[in-house]
Each structure stands twice: as structure tokens, then as C-alpha cells.
Structure 1
């Protein structure tokens, strides 16, 4: 979740039929109690048969039943968590404000704090798993760190050069390439998993908050004021995709059937069934949404109104 934007994201499909709120289950002795409709959550990820969500005050929630109930997991963090990534069903990393970095090796039941050198108390805005034991974390003022040992140790890496200081919102792995989306229209590409970077021509001077890649290789870059751009040549050129909104786009996902869902502030949902050439508005969700995952009967979205379950209509695409 970008530090330079209000929390948001949302849901999918040409019909968002119903919205409901999940409740945290009754905690066992020693577990914290939390209302899942009264907490800001900025990321949600599926890890095997489990869901994990992270957000304000260091909270991490875990669900074993596709979001029907949630367990609050105690962590050593008290700052807002912005992102999650897992290597497998045991090893995971969470990052957040105040240079917070947490690590789990038991499938998210326990988290330990890892101290980072060289970034002060600046915010980390995201984490990306690059394969095996390799992760990168990134965030404010160009901070970009890499771990080759599953998050035990981290080394700061330059992006472009030592003077690079733009906020990094998202690093996306697409095959053997990395794409970096950030502040002030920053679009970068690496063909060696971050050892070197090249600046891509940017169609926009405002901040990008994220990007997606479809199964066909199409890239989408999105950000402030409903700005959305599409590339079919690995980022060498970009075409603006019109959207009927000025709301910031914060995230999204590509569904198994190929549809693309973009998520934004003020409950914005936009859906494409033509590989991102055009988008239609979905029903407005409750509050700002930060991210979503697909579940058996629709989507589960998180944001500034906690967890929302939304049922989706079947795709009409051929």
C-alpha cells in the first residue's frame, strides 16, 4: 500500500451482488480480540488453504476457512503493516511503517522482528518474493533491500544509482523480469532480478501505486486520479486506458478466467474482460479498499472498513 495515498482497493466482476462483513472468531486464552469490520487492513494474500491479512497497529489476521472466520495473530509490531509475501506455506515476510519487517517460519502462527540497517525509521511499502529464499522489500525514499536467505539478513541495493530517492510502491515479477512502479511517474525494468535497472518511458508524471501482468504478458500501471496505462511490449511503450473515475487506483488482481479487477479509493471497482483494453465499473464497495483475493463464491476484499466478502456473477466472456 502506497504511503503517498489514502488506503483503498476493491472487488471484481460485472456484478458485485452482495457485501457482508466477516467476524473474528472468539479468541482462545491469550489471543487478542479484534473486530474485522473496524480495522484498517492494507493487504490480503492466499497461502495454500489459508488467508492472511495485515494492517494497522501491527495486526496480522489468519483465516483457515476462506474468510468465514478470522484469528488475530500476535506480532511484535505496533506500526501499520503494508504488505505480505510468502515463499511457501511456512516462510513469509511482512513489512510496514517505521522500517518494520517481520518473518515467520511456521506458516504465520508466530512472527519475529528483523532489524534493518541503513534506512532509519522510514516506511516499507511492499515485499515481493523472487523465488526460493529470495525476497525484496522496498518503500519510501528509494529504499530497496534484498534477502537471499529467507529474510534472515538484508542488503540495501541501489536502484538506478545512489541518488534515486523516489517512493517505490510496487515491484512486480514477470517471468525473468522485474518492473518497478513508484512516485513521480517512475517506471523501471530489470532483466537481471534487480542487479541493474533501466528507466522506461513514462506516460505520466504523477505517482504510480502499482501494476499487474496478465497471462498474455500485458502490463498495467495504475495510480493517482484514475490514471491507468497499458503496455504490450514489456513496458517500452504505454497507452492510456480511459476510466470513468478520478479516484486513486490502489491495487487489483487477475482472475483465473482472465478478467482483471482494479481496486481504488471510495469503494472503486473496475473490471475488464478484454485483457485490459477497456474497463467497466463494478458496484461500489463499502469504503476504501486496499486489496482482494478470489474465494469460492466471489472475492474477499480488505481496506479501511476491514474485511468485505463480495459475491460475483459468473463471467460472460468467451
Structure 2
């Protein structure tokens, strides 16, 4: 029996200064005091020779839309706007037709962990302080909605009916169907962190998480079937289900597993490296996986092929296809890149993949 609740959102002290030392040992203290006065005079003299602060360089840094301190966690797009979210309240926006990033910093600088688009073209983001942020179609306005829960929240999604769903610790699933006024929480009664939730269609919902947990609902999240488990207590970072029965999960050590029977059985697929896999992205060009150390893979049946990504060996936290062949990659140390997967030069570099 699954439990349901209603969540309402409304050492001893040392002598440090010369004066303290002088009180303890007057002669030694007097010498130390004289040395300190000389040092102070020298410091004041040298300070007058210091170079002036380069305020122009500081101002130029402030004008940069992307900075090395930005660690992007996700990137998504609706029909008009691309949105990437990062730590320290950073949201980057761009028109989908002309990538030119505009930087916004949300008051309070919440640390974002996820962002999604909804069928009505609005955005929804999640921050570590258990707050959902509803973004306008253009991404210019963001409205905070604190979630009253003791559980940590890690991921979110929008259902086909625009209802918002969150997952987190103690296998908790929280959702709202009334424009985010009232939230309902359900636990699967497992001490497991849920890391992803996906609506395959209006009725079929999958959640995945820690210890290889895979659970499915066949009635839009009202009830959940018996939990299935991936092999070896596999920690699932990301998952993608193509249908009610066929799907992939990825996680530590670069492992990717495939199921054709809704998680009853899993087959490990061949991957080219051991970098952790953080997520998947399906596009018209195929199915991709992304992760740590600039890992970007493309599915070729039972195997995954590596796609070369230039830059430092940082993580990729999300990818988004915005129009024919063009993809945005978002990740650590200010990584926000766009590639044309269909351009002749890129295809030649990848060996015609």
C-alpha cells in the first residue's frame, strides 16, 4: 500500500597580539611591539605603491553572459526560446533562431538542478532549496513556488496535461494538477533517491533512481506497479523510455542497460569509456547519452559510439536539439556550446556517424 499525503505550500586561549605578549613577558613583549610598529609602517608605505584595481577588466567580466564559474545543470527549449540553468541563480536565455545568450541572475541566487518545458510552452525549473520556478514562454519572468517537504528534490517533468511532477528522496513523487496551488506527495516506501521521472504518454509514467529502482505507473501516476530493479544495485543517474516496455538507463562507470520488457530483464550495452552517464536525449537523428568528462555517445543498436566534443574534460549536464541538426551542450566550467550535427565538416570529423 502506497502512502499519500497533502502538502500545503502556503582549546585553550592563546596570546595573539603583541600587547598580550608584552603583558606576559614585558621585555620580550616590548621588542615584539617595536617590530610590529615597524612592520605596520612598512605595510602602509608599500600600500601606497600598489597598482590601482583594474575596474575596466572587472566591468568587462560583468558584461560576459557566460562565465567560467557557471556550472550548467540542464538546457531545454520551447518553440521560441532556449533556457539553460546553473548554480548561483544563473539562467541563460536565447532566441532559438539566433543563439545570443542573455544572462539573468535570480534574486537569492538559488542553485538550480533541473529545467523542463511544458506543453503550453512555459518553463519549469527546480532549485536545491526545494523551490519550483515557473518561467514565462520567453523565459524573462520566473515565479517561485516553495514546496513544503522534508525530502530532497532532484528532478521534475511536465505531464501532457501540463501538470508538474517532482521526484526526490525516500522514493517520493510530488505533483500538482491545479496550476501549482496544491501539491500531493506519494512515496513508494523505499529508502531510495529518485533521480528521474518521464511520461511516455498520458498514462505511462516511469521513475528511476538509487539501488537500481525502476517503477512504472499505467494510470498517469495515480498508482504504481511493483518495483523492478536493475542489476547490481545499479545507481541510475538518467533514463529514457521509448515506449511502455522499451528503455535505457545509465549511471556510474559508463554503464548503459537496455530493457525490452519494462524493466523485468536488462542487457548491458557496449560503451567506449567508463565516464558516468548522466542522461539521455532522443532526437530525429537518433538516441544520445551524455555524462562526465565531455562524454557524448550515440546509440548504434547494441553499441554506443563516442562523439568528439572539443573543450576541457568537464561534465555535460544536458543537451537540446533546437532545429534540424543543431544541438546545444551545457555543462561545467561555463560550457555552453552549439554544434550542427548535420554539417559536412562535423560529419567528416566524426567519421560519417
Q: What is the alpha-carbon distance in structure 2 between the residues aligned to residue 103 and residue 150 of structure 1?
A: 10
Give the aligned partner of residue 271 of structure 1: 298
Q: TM-score, normalised by structure 1?
A: 0.79
TM-aligned CA deviation for residue 106 of structure 1: 5.1
Asked whether 1:224 is paired with 2:252, we answer yes
Give the aligned partner of residue 108 of structure 1: 139
Q: What is the alpha-carbon distance in structure 1 between the residues aligned to residue 184 and residue 245 of structure 2?
A: 30
Asked whether 1:174 is paired with 2:200, we answer yes
Query: Does structure 2 retain, via aligned residues, the 8 Å contact 1:73–1:110?
Result: no
Pairs within 5 Å for 1:275-314 = 277-286=302-311, 287-295=314-322, 296-305=324-333, 306-313=335-342
Q: TM-score, normalised by structure 2?
A: 0.72
Equivalent of 2:261 in 224, 227, 233:
233
TM-aligned CA deviation for residue 272 of structure 1: 1.5
State the Cα deviation string for residues 30-80 of structure 1 (Å, max 9, x = none).
xx8553252111111111121111111121211114562111234345221
The alignment partner of 1:204 has SS state of helix
Structure 2 vs 1, CA of residues 76 and 309 (structure 1 numbering), >3 Å: closer, same or farther? same
Q: Once structures 1 and 2 are overlaid, which stretch shifts more, 261-270 or 127-136?
A: 127-136
The alignment partner of 2:159 has SS state of strand
Unaligned runs of 5+ in 2: 1-61
Unaligned runs of 5+ in 1: 1-31
- In angstroms, what is the RMSD of aligned CA positions? 2.4
State the Cα deviation string for residues 196-224 of structure 1 (Å, max 9, x = none).
22201322313101111337963001111
Higher Cα Rg, which structure = 2
Equivalent of 1:35 in 51, 65, 78:
65
Query: Does structure 1 retain, via aligned residues, the 8 Å contact 2:211–2:229?
Result: no
Say which structure, 1 or 2, has more relative contact order (CA 8 Å, 6+ apart): 1
The alignment partner of 1:131 has SS state of coil
Equivalent of 2:242 in 214, 217, 226:
214
The alignment partner of 1:48 has SS state of coil
